[in-house]
Amino acid sequence: MRVELAVDARRPDRANEDFAAATPEALVLLDGSSAPATLRSGCTHGIAWYVRRLGVHLLTGLTDRTDRPMADCLADAIAGTAALHDDTCDLTDPATPAAMVVAARLRGDTLEYLALGDSLLVLHLKDGPPRVIGDNQRFPDGEALRRQIWSTVPGTAERAALYLRYAVAVRAARNTGRGPWIAAATPHAAAHAETGAVARADLHGVAALSDGAARYTDRLELGSWADALRLLAQDGPAELIAQVRAAERSDAACLRWPRSKAHDDAAALYAAL
């Protein structure tokens, strides 16, 4: 694989909670589950610390243990990361750091993939339209609250209060069977990841995007997935994120494109095969 990636924090004064990394055989992209600053997590390290260690554990497992299914590699990574801080942090807290995960791995003539949460993997097929994988852990009970957030003015106390209500509701339901499954401290969550495989010969490449970068298509509607893949392949992930940022700046009040945050951490990766 020939890989190009870009990661950009939503604000220069805060830690980036997205993470992307790759080897010639595998790639991972993680999007930390952000939370209001007032929501205690039981962890002293924070989300950025968590996603980097989980991402490194997963990439190592995917490359060193090619005999293990990708979901098992993710379960191993979750367990290994939990072991780094379970003696100092309360990992039973519903707000313990967590992340959405997408990953891909070459095994011979096959590309294997995994997606857990609302980050996306997009297969750039030689024949037919792009195949979008992921965003498979929606939380229907929270959609009404999310729409309420979008209807309020960014930066107001009303929006902050609604965002806190939404964050608490999601965290109370995730990894319980009543809500989304996500990579937190429960290795069993990996069993709920979407996995599959496609022949390498059928692909131009594969893209991975956090939801902040996927706004190019699914929130800002700057182009189709075919347009996004063309941009990633020709001009690179940094250009896609730059176009997302320009559109966001043109709508700082979130009126043209309703969204919970004017800007979000963004990570994008494209691997040519």
Domain extents in the chain:
2-138+179-272
In this prediction, residues 190-204 reach a mean pLDDT of 97
In this prediction, residues 99-109 reach a mean pLDDT of 96
Concatenated DSSP letters of 240-263: HHHHHHHHHHTTTTSSSS--S-SS
Exposure string over 126-156, b if 16+ CB within 10 A, otherwise e: eeeebbbbbbbbebeebeebbeebbebebee
DSSP conformational letter for 156: S
The residue with greater pLDDT, 198 or 259, is 198
pLDDT of residue 137: 67
pLDDT of residue 68: 97
pLDDT of residue 10: 92
In this prediction, residues 114-135 reach a mean pLDDT of 95
In this prediction, residues 62-73 reach a mean pLDDT of 97
Q: What is the mean pLDDT of the chain?
A: 93
Whole-angstrom distance, CA of residue 269 vs CA of residue 210: 9
The residue with greater pLDDT, 145 or 24, is 24
pLDDT of residue 143: 80
Whole-angstrom distance, CA of residue 104 vs CA of residue 93: 30
Whole-angstrom distance, CA of residue 89 vs CA of residue 201: 46
pLDDT band at 163 (very low <50, low <70, confident <90, very high): confident
Q: Does domain 2-138+179-272 have CATH number 3.20.20.70?
A: no
In this prediction, residues 244-255 reach a mean pLDDT of 95
Tokens of 107: 């095994």
pTM for the complete prediction?
0.93
